[in-house]
Amino acid sequence: MDKNILKQLNRQRKKNKIRSTISGTALKPRCSVFKSLSNLNVQLVDDVAGKTLVSLSTLSMDFKKGSKKTEQAHEVGTKLAELALAKGITTIVFDRNGYVYHGRVKAVAEGLREKGISF
């Protein structure tokens, strides 16, 4: 089997295991992080109603030319926290989506915590 396919299958297995234990509600939504090679998408999801409450991406924000991906992820986290606080959301359940809690995923979490979101 190809090494990349194996890596994707392992991440999918971890993702399914995580999602079997956590779920978001309207008062405490799930913060789902998806990262590709060039972009990062973060959204707050109410799993009970099946709706996305707040969504933000690196594509939807303007960044300085030459800024690093982890810096962009941190800015996305802080901006998402501001949008969540405006909607009255103060606590979340963090879903790293099978990714290792390191780098861009960790930067998003730190950005959320800096602005007062607890999880």
**pLDDT score for 44:** 96
Q: How confident is the model at residue 74 (pLDDT cuts 50, 70, 90)?
A: very high
Q: What is the pLDDT of residues 7-17, one digit of tens each?
A: 999 999 999 99
Q: Which residues contact 39 (CB under 8 A, 6 or more apart)?
A: 57, 58, 59
**pLDDT score for 64:** 81
Query: Does residue 101 surpass a pLDDT of 90?
Result: yes
**pLDDT score for 66:** 80
In whole angstroms, give the CA distance from residue 9 to residue 6: 5
What mean pLDDT is predicted for residues 70-82?
96
Domain 3-114 is in which class? alpha beta
Domain ranges of the chain: 3-114
Instruction: Sort 34 into a burial class: Cβ within 10 Å, 0-12 / 13-18 / 19+.
Output: middle
Percentage of residues of the chain with pLDDT beyond 70:
100
Q: What is the pLDDT of residues 38-52, one digit of tens each?
A: 999 999 999 999 999
